[in-house]
Structure 1
Amino acid sequence: MKKSGWGVWIVLVAAFLMLAPSGRVVAAEPIIIGCPLPTAFLYGWDAERGVRLAVDEINAQGGVDVGGEKRMLKVELIDTRDLEPGVPVSEALLAVEKLILEKKADFIVGGPVRSEAALAAMPLLSKHRKVSIVTSGVLSPKYHAMVAQDYDKYKYCFRIHGEAKQLVTEIMDCLEHIKATFGLNNLFIMVQDVAHARAAGKILGDIALKKGWTVSGTEIFPTGTGDFSMGLIKAQKTGAQVLSLWMDMPESSILLKQWYDMQLPALPFGSTLAAAEQPGFWKATEGKGAYCLANVVNAGNAPSNATPWTMKFYDAYTQKWGIEPEGLGSSSSYMAIYTLKDAVERAGTLESGAVITALEQTDLMGVYGRLRFDPKSHQVIPSYDPQEGAVGSIFQWQDGKRVVVFPESIAMGKIILPPWMKMKQ
């Protein structure tokens, strides 16, 4: 009897174990978002924070609907170190490949951030057929040009923020406004020795000359430079009235301190200026960053009312991270996740071809305006009107605050000159 009882028990347990899996609700596998980012630098950590904020919001709402099945998002991040001086591009490529092969990323979002590394990663993304949306850094026009020139190979690559040529257009339009308002027309260009900055500085200088500006010089500084005084002295000797600064290295804050101490009568304009973009810049420079303009590429990275999404994002980011959106990669990284969610849900699958088609058909209102991609180049379509396209954002440091001054459609204030330049008005 005892043996018979045990036998029956074993049979029942075995039957239960065989049947249980089919009757059990098994959670769907998460969608893996691979983020190759330089985590020690602004354009890495701001992108990570934008991504994680969006992921947390979407997961709290039930996740992504993939063909009728709800799936959560999961972030896998690897430090590319691609903004560090002397780090080879190969290190960023290893990070991307590790995300794909080891972390099993379904999509790549964020970086690499350095243009050279992002360009080098394009064949790798093509090889593994992984859809990627770059969201921070990567300002080189060559990125979307390569997609347009060899679509079949590079169709996996999208960029959801502005690039150097568009930024130059916006900067030049803002400079023309400064010239018309204050009569300033002598431009001195100071750039970091990286591909996108050198190229943008040259393009800006050429366009400025055609528009009647005097371009009195160009200085190129190696990444990690800690003293800009000789370049500033040269700008002063040439009678420069506006300094065009294109640098993503944190040391650029030193340049602004030196500019302020010299009381150089030239308005600093950060075409890309990582240090000045950050909310802590005013305190870090003890107010010596006053009057500096900075281009944060997309609306939402400084406070404005571009769309109903703008301040909603701005406040949510501030609440979650204890700091206001910090740099050009904040709002674009946030919107990349929502854009990907929208595309996947319309495609009904994670299959690359279907998601690419869905992304090409994107028409979504977001933090910095209407988001659509050029179907041939996969570059986000820009506009000064947030109802028509992605809107940029240029602000000026005024009384410890970042005040958006351009474009006019989203401006929260007007450009002012330093007191020692008042006679120029």
Structure 2
Amino acid sequence: MGSGLLFLLMMAISGHVYGEVPVVIGVATSLTTLEGRDSLLAARLAVEEINQGGGVAVGKRRVRLKIEAVDLKDAQADVKVQDAVARLESFLATSRATAVVAGPFRSEVLLPAMDVIARRQIPMISTIAMTPAMESKIMRQPDTYRTIFRTGLNTRYLADGLIAAMRFLNQQYGFRRVFIISQDAAWARSTVSLMLKLYFKPTGWQILATRHYPYETDDFSAALAEAACQDAQVILSIFDTPHSGQLVVQWKARQSPGLLCGFISPMMGPGAWKRFNGRIGGVLNMIFELGNIPSQTVAPASRFYEAFNTRYHREIEAGHGPAPTYESIYLLAQAITATGSLDAKRIAAALEGADRMGAMGRLRFNIGHQVIFGTDPEEAAVACLIQWNERGQRVIVYPPSLAESEILLPPSPVP
């Protein structure tokens, strides 16, 4: 009995008492989506790693982290914005969350949710919703929204990344003829509009056509035939629908000389090869954040990817969300330890000055509390372009700082 009491006393002095009330981090997003599920698992992985290292320092105490999750269900089209926001508010009212990561899935939910977060003055690091309007609200009212940040890619950086990829194709291969096929959704139309305005039109590309398809579309043969008839060199595709993988299968079956490139969400993860029976070789696809795919040149990206694989016995399937959620937990832990406090304003101030080398590259926030993205992982977080090869492997081909192979072009048509 005496030795047991002595042990507890020693543990109390060292700050590692298991009875210590943990610091709760909320994961609030649409948990039935691929991005939501993998992001929750990434958050749990980060918490386990931090706790194995002794937790976080709050004053002179070492305290464990704990994850509590809530499904906002906001990815579902039939869920009203106000209902998803109400779920978040109820979660914050009943949980003991010190901070929230991941955040709403849909941008139209994120924006009103910011007001809930502002009223409660709780740190939130968003990782999935992509609207740049978040930064605009923060810059207009920095004191009101000072505890809100984002580590995930936004639509402006997505457009920048795709523009950089198009510029690379032009410089390397002389491509100038583009046929655009995209989802009929606000985020996809916005991305296309930005690319037309900022790159394709000013630089003299021939824009052969722009076709927008409804969410449920699974037959893209008419657009692919039109692109082939017009000798498209690049077929730019932008979709996050579950059926959009059929675009790749149909493109492959046509043996089109046009290079299919862009963002098609079913092509992101390693499971796509088996799911589409190996009929996707050659397609180029954007991975929104490094770390959702390993890298031969950025060690933290591969460490996170392999740790996820080891912990959950499968690879990361989502190309958006997991890596920034994982990094968000570490950023919060570092901010808590640096300030020795759970005070929201002090944590926010520490996050504003954060400078971390992680799975996504270098993490620093701009004035709008958005993590800065670029093409050099030593200077910024990085998105990357991968190409599926005929061996069922995803290979990073852009940016040059990460490239593991040259882009393989489709075979020229037989006369």
Q: TM-score, normalised by structure 1?
A: 0.88
Structure 1 residue aligned with 2:372:
381
Judge conservation of contact 1:302–1:395 (CA < 8 Å) in 2: no
Letter in 1 for 2:44: R
Of the structure 1 ranges 168-177 and 343-352, higher mean CA displacement relative to structure 2 is found in 168-177
Secondary structure of the structure 2 residue equivalent to 1:264: coil
Amino acid at match of 2:357: M
Find out whether 1:167 has 2:158 as its counterpart.
yes
Range 161-170 or range 199-208, more displaced = 161-170
The question of 1:394 aligning with 2:363 is answered no
1:342 aligns with 2:337: no
Change (3 A) 1:362 1:265: same
1:366 aligned to which of 358, 361, 367: 358
Misfit runs of 4+, over 6 Å: 23-26
Deviation at 1:237, TM superposition (A): 3.9
Secondary structure in 2 aligned to 1:408? coil
The one-letter amino acid of 1:323's match is R
Residue among 381, 388, 407 paired with 1:415: 407
Aligned twin of 2:300: 309
Aligned twin of 2:169: 178
Mapped to 2, the partners of 1:335 and 1:355 lie a distance apart of 15
Where 1:158 maps in the other structure, the secondary structure is: strand
| Counterpart check, 1:80 vs 2:36 | no
Task: Give the number of the structure whose alpha-carbon radius of gyration is greater.
Answer: 1
Cα RMSD of the aligned pairs, angstroms, is 2.1
Shift, 1:27, TM fit: 2.3
Report the 3-state secondary structure (helix = DSSP H, G, I; strand = E; otherwise coil) of the residue aligned with 1:278.
coil
* Residue aligned with 2:395, SS: strand
Tell me the alpha carbon deviations over residues 327-370 of structure 1, each in whole angstroms, 9 at most, x when there is no partner: 22121111111111111111211111101100001011111211
Could you tell me which residue of structure 2 aligns to residue 10 of structure 1?
none
* Aligned amino acid, residue 219 of structure 2: D
Q: Is the 8 A contact 1:116 1:195 kept in 2?
A: no
For the 8 Å contact 2:177–2:234, the answer to whether it is kept is: yes
The 3-state SS of whatever aligns with 1:91 is helix
- Tell me, yes or no, if structure 1 residue 229 matches structure 2 residue 202: no
Counterparts in 2 of 1:353 and 1:381: CA distance versus 1, 3 Å: same
Hey, what's the Cα distance between the residues in 2 that align with 1:265 and 1:91?
47
Rounded to whole Å, the distance in 2 between the matches of 1:295 and 1:308 is 20
2:46 paired with 1:54 = yes
Distance 1:239 1:146, change over 3 A: farther
CA contact (8 A) 1:300 1:325 kept: no
- Distance in 1 (CA, whole Å) between partners of 2:353 and 2:301 is 23
TM-score normalised by L of structure 2: 0.90
Distance across 2 between alignment mates of 1:306 and 1:333? 21
> Which residue number in structure 2 is paired with residue 32 of structure 1?
24
The superposition leaves residues 29-87 of structure 1 with CA deviations (integer Å, 9 ceiling, x where unpaired) of: 11111112222222211211211111111122221111121221111112222222332
Q: How many residues align?
A: 399
Which residue in 2 is equivalent to 1:299? Answer: 290
- The Cα shift of 1:181 comes to 2.3
Q: Which amino acid aligns with 1:290?
A: G
Supply the distance in 2 between the matched residues of 1:143 and 1:273 (Cα, whole angstroms). 24
In the aligned structure 2, how far is the partner of 1:421 from the partner of 1:42?
Answer: 37
The answer to whether residue 99 in structure 2 is matched with residue 113 in structure 1 is no
Distance in 1, matches of 2:18 and 2:48, equals: 22
Match of 1:93 in 2: 85
8 A contact 2:293–2:302 mirrored in 1:
no
**Residues 111 and 195 (structure 1), Cα distance of their counterparts in 2 relative to 1, 3 Å cut:** farther
Matches within 5 A, 1:236-275: 236-270=228-262, 272-275=263-266
Cα 1:355–1:49 change in 2 (3 A) is: same
Counterparts of 2:387 and 2:303, CA distance in 1: 22
Please say if 1:45 is aligned against 2:37.
Answer: yes
Q: Which residue of structure 2 aligns with residue 139 of structure 1?
A: 130
Take 1:132 and 1:44, find their aligned partners in 2: how far apart are those partners? Answer: 16
Q: CA deviation at 1:420?
A: 4.7
The superposition leaves residues 108-150 of structure 1 with CA deviations (integer Å, 9 ceiling, x where unpaired) of 10021222211221111111112110112x2222121221122
What's the counterpart of residue 16 of structure 1? none
Q: Secondary structure at the match of 1:413?
A: coil
Alpha-carbon distance in 1 for matches of 2:159, 2:43:
27
- Measured at CA, do residues 362 and 257 of structure 1 come closer, stay the same or move farther in structure 2, by a change above 3 Å? same
State the distance in 2 between where 1:242 and 1:359 align.
40
For the structure 1 residues 334 and 258, does the alpha-carbon distance in structure 2 shift closer, same or farther, using more than 3 Å as the test? same
Distance 1:215 1:394 in 2: 22
Cα distance in 2 for residues equivalent to 1:198 and 1:332: 25
Letter in 1 for 2:222: M
- Alignment match, 1:351: 343
Q: Which consecutive unaligned segments of at least 5 residues does structure 2 have? A: 1-11
Amino acid at match of 1:321: Y
- C-alpha distance in structure 2 between counterparts of 1:363 and 1:113, whole Å: 26
In 2 relative to 1, CA 339–26 (structure 1 residues): closer, same or farther, beyond 3 Å?
A: closer
One-letter amino acid matched to 2:375: Y
